[in-house]
Copies of this chain bind each other. A is one copy, B any other.
């Protein structure tokens, strides 16, 4: 690996050269979904971001062990330690066994991610499947003196930890400020301080998801699973831990505290966080009525949408912003992405039937250098896409025979598009973008040849009628000197 991949390490607040602990292996842990509802744009952005990272690391030659968890227990409402378990509540409302809720939304998440071209992680551990490992970590933290038991629940003692270690180093928050911003505990709370968080919660009698322990029949706290499962599958040194910026505090901050308390040291070498999505400039939220699920985007079935969008359009839209920038969603912005992606695939289709000259003016090496540099600069996908659009303009000029290209540069050009569009960005032509339905393409070409024959016998009525009929079917015909071009412009 002779690359110079720089990634922004949230904990040091700067871009750093990526050097894994044990090359050629690279360990990647990304936070997965809490499976109690349909996946939305926020899930898509997080998954696509770390999918691109996974693809880049693999492309650079690393053997990547990629772990992404499924939170199927322990995530309480409002992300705090009070209230009902999100999954148990959903199960109660829908009169199902909690694991039926988990299975339903996990399957739906997988389907959505497959549609978005997100590669499956190598290991996908579930919180409910790793109770023993989480209980082991609770014992370690208790033994180290950074947790206490009350009424069968175990809490992490943040103030004690903060006295010995740096609590807040990832998020930059200070315990004093956190305390002054927190409601004081009411008399009911078992916690010593409002900053403390649950490692193990005693289950209420009606709580279905529960496991025995020396403290109580209960369930693990939300932050615990990621510390326990990342350590189980990646060891006590983890190259990269990723997640959405909304997880930075308290989730990842608590993970660091748990690892330091339980294993005696921090585990993660590079922390990476993707930024959030806004909807027409607003925060996305169920209560704001601007909450759009992926299925709604793919079907167009939502009041904020003017049309349905192909999953690849959503992916392309996400990649057109750098993962650390906020990304504002609107139906119009997506429609623009759709057009852009069609342009990109149209250029790639032209590339396949391009003719070469003995010499040419196109220098593909420059394009490759631009794409590689953008990829290595903290996964700058918008810069890669902009370079590929520059290339598309060159391809169109070549197609119109205004400039020429030699074989060597054409081969390199094809390789660049295949590598960056398919392998690195993970885009695939689908639906209206793809001409990979060969039978359809054969039929259209044959009809257009029949049209050429009609023209040749001066039957212009038939010729025009063929063009109009295809247009009605959503196929736009462009006449050319030497024949015709066509594209499917409407599904």
Which residues from chain B contact A122 at a C-beta distance below 8 Å? Answer: 97, 100, 103-104
Per the bound structure, the CA–CA distance linking A102 and B131 in Å amounts to: 19
Interface size class of A (residues with CB under 8 A): 35 or more
Closest chain B CB from A116 CB (angstroms): 16
The interface stretch among A199-207, A377-385, A440-448 is A440-448
Which residues from chain B contact A103 at a C-beta distance below 8 Å? Answer: 120-124
Closest chain B CB from A224 CB (angstroms): 16
Closest to A234 in B: B97
Which residues from chain B contact A439 at a C-beta distance below 8 Å? Answer: 440, 473-474, 488
Closest to A232 in B: B99
Query: In chain A between 104 and 149, which residues have their CB closer than 8 angstroms to a CB of chain B?
Result: 104, 107, 110, 120-126, 128-132, 136
Closest to A120 in B: B107
Query: In chain A between 175 and 231, which residues have their CB closer than 8 angstroms to a CB of chain B?
Result: 211-212
Chain multiplicity (copies): 2
Are the CB atoms of A129 and B130 closer together than 8 Å? yes
Which residues from chain B contact A440 at a C-beta distance below 8 Å? Answer: 437, 439-440, 443
Closest chain B CB from A74 CB (angstroms): 14
Per the bound structure, the CA–CA distance linking A130 and B136 in Å amounts to: 16
The answer to whether A403 has its CB under 8 Å from any CB of chain B is no
Closest to A454 in B: B450
Which residues from chain B contact A65 at a C-beta distance below 8 Å? Answer: 97, 100
The answer to whether A462 has its CB under 8 Å from any CB of chain B is yes
Are the CB atoms of B233 and A442 closer together than 8 Å? no
Closest chain B CB from A211 CB (angstroms): 5
Query: In chain A between 30 and 80, which residues have their CB closer than 8 angstroms to a CB of chain B?
Result: 65
Which residues from chain B contact A100 at a C-beta distance below 8 Å? Answer: 65, 122-123
The answer to whether A469 has its CB under 8 Å from any CB of chain B is yes
The answer to whether A453 has its CB under 8 Å from any CB of chain B is yes
Closest to A450 in B: B450
* Pick from B136, B233, B453, B469: contact of A446, CB under 8 Å: B469
Closest to A106 in B: B124
Closest chain B CB from A156 CB (angstroms): 23
Per the bound structure, the CA–CA distance linking A488 and B130 in Å amounts to: 51
**Contact mask A341-374 → B, CB, 8 Å, 1/0?**
0000000000000000000000000000000000
Of A103, A136, A437, the most chain B CB neighbours within 10 A belong to A103
**Contact mask A237-257 → B, CB, 8 Å, 1/0?**
000000000000000000000
Which residues from chain B contact A442 at a C-beta distance below 8 Å? Answer: 473
Per the bound structure, the CA–CA distance linking A439 and B110 in Å amounts to: 29
Of A121, A446, A474, the most chain B CB neighbours within 10 A belong to A446
Which residues from chain B contact A453 at a C-beta distance below 8 Å? Answer: 462
Per the bound structure, the CA–CA distance linking A442 and B488 in Å amounts to: 14
Q: List 10 A-B contacts (CB under 8 A).
A: A99-B233, A129-B130, A132-B212, A437-B440, A439-B440, A442-B473, A443-B473, A447-B447, A447-B450, A450-B466
Q: Which residues on A are within 8 Å of B, measured CB to CB?
A: 65, 97, 99-100, 102-104, 107, 110, 120-126, 128-132, 136, 211-212, 233, 437, 439-440, 442-444, 446-447, 450, 453, 462, 466, 469, 473-474, 488
| 3 A-B pairs with least C-beta separation | A129-B129, A443-B443, A99-B123
